[in-house]
Amino acid sequence: MNTCQPPQPTARALTGWSLAGLLLLLPTVVLAWVAVLATERGSRCLMYGEQCSAVPGGALWGCFGAAPALGAPALAWPRTRWTSARAGAVALQWGAQLMLGALILSGA
């Protein structure tokens, strides 16, 4: 009998994605800032405080804090319980991390 349910992610895959997100958070931020500061507008903002991004700092810090705040519990969560909630936490972790990179890059 074939049911129409989507396949559930495995516990090992969720652990891997959560760990990868936590390990890639700082390199994502550093590379995004390097890309922004390499532009004329970014260097002008750094040197003279002109033409800086309109993205509020609270949004950047919120995304930066949300990514590990969601990733660490998903990593420590028991593998056999609430797999769908754990998958949701990992998806939100990656969403916050990608949003952070996009917000930083939008300042260029």
Confidence of residue 13 (pLDDT cuts 50, 70, 90): confident
Q: Where are the domains of the chain?
A: 12-105
Q: Write the DSSP assignment of 41-90 as a string of letters.
A: HHHHHHHHS-S---S-HHHHHHHHHHHHHHHHHHHHS-TTS-HHHHHHHH
Rounded Cα gap, residues 49 and 53, in angstroms: 10
> Which tokens go with 24?
């890639």
| Site of tokens 């593998």 | 79
Report field, pTM of the whole predicted structure over 0.75 = yes
Rounded Cα gap, residues 8 and 10, in angstroms: 6
Mean pLDDT, residues 63-76 taken together:
92
